[in-house]
Structure 1
Amino acid sequence: MVMGTTGSKLEKALGDKFPEGERFFGLENFGNTCYCNSVLQALYFCIPFREQLLEYYAENKNVGEADENVLTCLADLFNQINSSKKKTGIIAPKRFVQRVKKQNELFRSYMHQDAHEFLNFLLNELVDILEKEANETKGSPGSSSQSEKVANGPVNLQANGAQKEPVITWVHKCFQGILTNETRCLRCETVTARDETFFDLSVDIEQNSSITSCLKNFSSTETLNAEDKFFCDKCCSLQEAQKRMKIKKPPNVLIIHLKRFKYIEQLGRYKKLSYRVVFPLELKLGNMVENAEAEYSLFAVVVHVGSGPNHGHYISLVKSHDLWFLIDDENVDTVDESSLQTFFGSAQEYSSNTDHGYILFYENLGGRS
C-alpha cells in the first residue's frame, strides 16, 4: 500500500541530483516497529541483497497466500518500493510486520524491541526458507536432512551420518563470513583451529575508541591459564595456551554490531553505553584477516536513540549514489556526510545527544564473490 506525497519535498531538495532509477520511501510505524523499519531500510540499500530479493520475487510472484512466509512478504515489500511509479512516498509494511509477529512471538507485543535481535531473526529465517526450498527442489532422499542455523554454520547430515554439501543461499553469499578460532598450546606449540561462520560481528566497545580498535580487541590474543587451561590433545592434558580469533573469509557485506547494552550487576539491569566510538567511512580489516587485507565502505547505520535499552527509538542512515539520507520511519531527508560524526556517541558520561550508531553495514570494495 503506497500512501501520501510527503516525499515531494525530497525530490525538490535533490532536484537534478536525484539518483536515476532509485526510490526513497518512508515506512509506516505500527506501534514501536521502528526496530523493524530501520533494519529494512539498511537492507533495502544493501544493493546485492536487494537485487537477489527482487530476482526471487520475479521467480516466485505467483505464490498463493497459503504459501506466504517472511521471505515472500519481504520480497513483495521490496518490489512495491522498487516498481513504484513515484520516486518518493510512504509505504505501510503491514503484511510483512504481521507475518513476522505470526512467526516469532518475541515481536508480537508493542514493547520496544532490539533491532539487532530482529536482524538476526530475519536473516536466519530467510536462510531457513531458502534452504528448505533448495532441498525440496533437489527432491533427494536426504532433502529433509537436519540443518543447523546459519549463525553456527549450516551442516547437512545424510542418513548414514556423513556430511553432505551444505546449501549456500544468496543470503550466505551476501553476509556470511568465516572466523577461525586458533588455540596454541604453550607446551608443545601445536595449533588447533576451529572454523565458525558468522552473519555479523558483535564487538565490545570502550569510551573514546574506534571500530578499528574494537576489532583489534575482538581478535587480540588471550592467554588461557589457571582455571581456564586448554585440554591439548597432543599433550593429553590441560595446558596453558594462547587463543585468538581471525577472519578466514571476509563477507561481501560486513555487519558490525556495537554492544551498547551492558548488564550492570549492581543495578540489576541493562544500561546503555553512550561511549564515543568512531566508525570510518572506509574500513580496512588489516591483521584480522588471515590471507589478505579486506577493504570496506560504509553504506548504512542503524542508530539507537534514547538513554536506555527498554525504551527509545531507531532510525537509519543510508548511502545511495554517494548521497546520505536519514530515514526516521515515514520521513526521509538528505544529510551531509559530515553529520555522521554526530552519531559516534558521547565523550562525556552524561550528554543530551542520545543518538548513537548501533549496527554498521559495510560493503567489500574488493567486489562481490
Structure 2
Amino acid sequence: MEILMTVSKFASFCTMGANASALEKEIGSEQFPVNEHYFGLVNFGNTCYCNSVLQALYFCRPFREKILAYRSQPRRKENLLTCLADLFHSIANQKRKVGVIPPKKFITRLRKENELFDNYMQQDAHEFLNYLLNTIADLLQEERKQDKTNGRLANGSLDSQNHNSNGPPPSTWVHEIFQGTLTNETRCLTCETISSKDEDFLDLSVDVEQNTSITHCLRGFSNTETLCSEYKYYCEECRSKQEAHKRMRVKKLPMILALHLKRFKYMEQLQRYTKLSYRVVFPLELRLFNTSGDATNPERLYDLVAVVVHCGSGPNRGHYIAIVKSHDFWLLFDDDIVEKIDAQAIEEFYGLTSEISKNSESGYILFYQSRD
C-alpha cells in the first residue's frame, strides 16, 4: 500500500510538472512577466475553497504587497497571518516560474484555529474569505496594541497619536484595501426628514436573478423599500411612527471591491440549501451607480482582477476554482493545475440560462480593483 501511494504521488507530481512546462511554453519566455510566478496549490482533502480564495487574493496586488511587506518584518509567534505571509513569500521567491506548492502549514494552522474548517468536508469559500480578512485585521490590531504597550513600558508614556483604548479599534491595511462604507437612508414620508446610519463592509453580498448582470444586482441591493403597516418607522421629528422610504447606498468605495453573489438559497420543502445557477454577467470593467450624494470618488472605475468560481449543485458539494488576471492575460487555477485562458472564456462562468440543470460553473466571488 505504501509503495502504491508513493508511485501515485510521483505520477501526480510528474503530471503537474508537465502542466507547468506547457504553461511556460504557452506564455513564452519573452512574454512571461518579470518577477511573476504561477504556482498551483495542493488540495489537502476538499481544501479547494481555501486554495481558490488564496489564489484570488494573491493576484489582488495591493493585498499581496502588504502580505509580503509583513513577512519582511521581525518574526512573531505563528498565527494564520504569519503562515499566509510564509506561503506568499514562498511563491514569490521560487526559482522556477511555474509549479506547485503544498500550503500545508497554512491549512494546519487554519484547522487548528477554527473548528469550522477542522475537517475534510467542503466549506463555503465566502465564509472562509470573511473569516480570513477579519482574522488578519484582528491580528494586526492586536499587534499594534502590543507594540504600543511595549513602547509605553519602555518610554514611560504614549505619544499623542496613540489610539484611545476606549474608542473603536484603529483601521489596518486590510481596511484600507477592502473596507467600504454603506449608508442606510430613511426618509419620513410625513415630514420629509432624512436620517442616515453608516455601516462598514469588507465585502458586499448581493442577491442574484436569472439573466441579469452584476450592475442589475447592485441596483437591486439599493432598491427603495417602503416601511408601512406594522413596519412603520419611528420618526424623531414627528415623534411617532410614520410611513417611510428606506434605501441603501454606497458612501465610500473600497480600493478592492469584493462582491459575493448569493447563489445558495435555503429551500423549506427540501430542508437544505440549493444552488441558484442563474446567468449573471460580470463585466471586465465596472462603475457603481448606487452611490450616495456625499460619496467620495463616486465615479471610481474598477477592473475585474479575480473570480472565485463554484462548480456543482450545492454549498457542501462540488468544487471551487479561481480565475485571475495577471498583467495582460487570464489564468485558471484549479488546485495544483494552472492554465492560461482567453478573456472570452470568462463568459462560460456567468451561469446557466436554463434552470433545468443546477450543476454549473458560476462566478461566486468577484474581486474588482480600482484604477486610481
- The Cα of 1:22 is off from its aligned counterpart by 0.5
Question: Whole-Å Cα distance in 2 between the matches of residues 88 and 141 of structure 1?
Answer: 43
Change (3 A) 1:138 1:324: same
- The Cα of 1:294 is off from its aligned counterpart by 2.1
Q: Which residue of 1 aligns with 2:312?
A: 306
Counterpart residue type for residue 35 of structure 2: G
Instruction: Check whether the contact 1:179–1:195 (CA below 8 A) recurs between aligned residues.
Output: yes
Q: Which residue of 2 aligns with 1:104?
A: 114
Look up the SS of the partner of 1:79 in the other structure: helix
Instruction: Check whether the contact 2:275–2:358 (CA below 8 A) recurs between aligned residues.
Output: no
Q: Which residue of 1 aligns with 2:299?
A: 293
Look up the SS of the partner of 2:317 in the other structure: coil
Counterpart residue type for residue 18 of structure 1: F
Q: Which residue of 2 aligns with 1:150?
A: none
Deviations 1:128-166 (A, max 9, x none): 0000011111228999xxxxxxxxxxxx8745xxx36x4
Equivalent of 2:102 in 78, 84, 92? 92
- The Cα of 1:40 is off from its aligned counterpart by 0.1
Structure-2-length-normalised TM-score: 0.89
Structure-1-length-normalised TM-score: 0.90
Q: Which moved more, 1:331-340 or 1:232-241?
A: 232-241
Alignment of 1:9 onto 2:19: no
Q: Which moved more, 1:265-274 or 1:320-329?
A: 265-274
Instruction: Check whether the contact 1:257–1:358 (CA below 8 A) recurs between aligned residues.
Output: yes
Counterpart residue type for residue 51 of structure 2: N
Question: Whole-Å Cα distance in 2 between the matches of residues 327 and 101 of structure 1?
Answer: 23
Q: Which moved more, 1:199-208 or 1:347-356?
A: 347-356
Q: Which residue of 1 aligns with 2:4?
A: none
Deviations 1:155-196 (A, max 9, x none): x8745xxx36x4121111110001111111111111111001
Equivalent of 2:363 in 357, 362, 367? 357
Counterpart residue type for residue 17 of structure 2: T
Computing the radius of gyration over CA atoms, which structure comes out larger, 1 or 2?
2
Look up the SS of the partner of 1:124 in the other structure: helix
Instruction: Check whether the contact 1:229–1:241 (CA below 8 A) recurs between aligned residues.
Output: yes
Q: Which residue of 1 aligns with 2:349?
A: 343
Deviations 1:63-100 (A, max 9, x none): 3xxx1000000000000000111111000000000101
Instruction: Check whether the contact 1:31–1:110 (CA below 8 A) recurs between aligned residues.
Output: yes
Alignment of 1:315 onto 2:337: no
Change (3 A) 1:346 1:88: same
Deviations 1:252-289 (A, max 9, x none): 00000000000111222111001000000001102435
Question: Whole-Å Cα distance in 2 between the matches of residues 264 and 142 of structure 1?
Answer: 55
Instruction: Check whether the contact 2:313–2:358 (CA below 8 A) recurs between aligned residues.
Output: no
Look up the SS of the partner of 2:72 in the other structure: helix
Question: Whole-Å Cα distance in 1 between the matches of residues 262 and 269 of structure 2?
Answer: 19
Q: Which moved more, 1:268-277 or 1:286-295?
A: 286-295
Look up the SS of the partner of 1:286 in the other structure: coil
The 5 Å alignment of 1:241-260 reads 241-260=244-263
Q: Which residue of 1 aligns with 2:130?
A: 120
Question: Whole-Å Cα distance in 1 between the matches of residues 322 and 108 of structure 2?
Answer: 22
Q: Percent identity?
A: 57
Change (3 A) 1:248 1:142: farther
Look up the SS of the partner of 1:17 in the other structure: coil
Q: Which residue of 1 aligns with 2:159?
A: none
Alignment of 1:187 onto 2:204: no
RMSD: 1.8
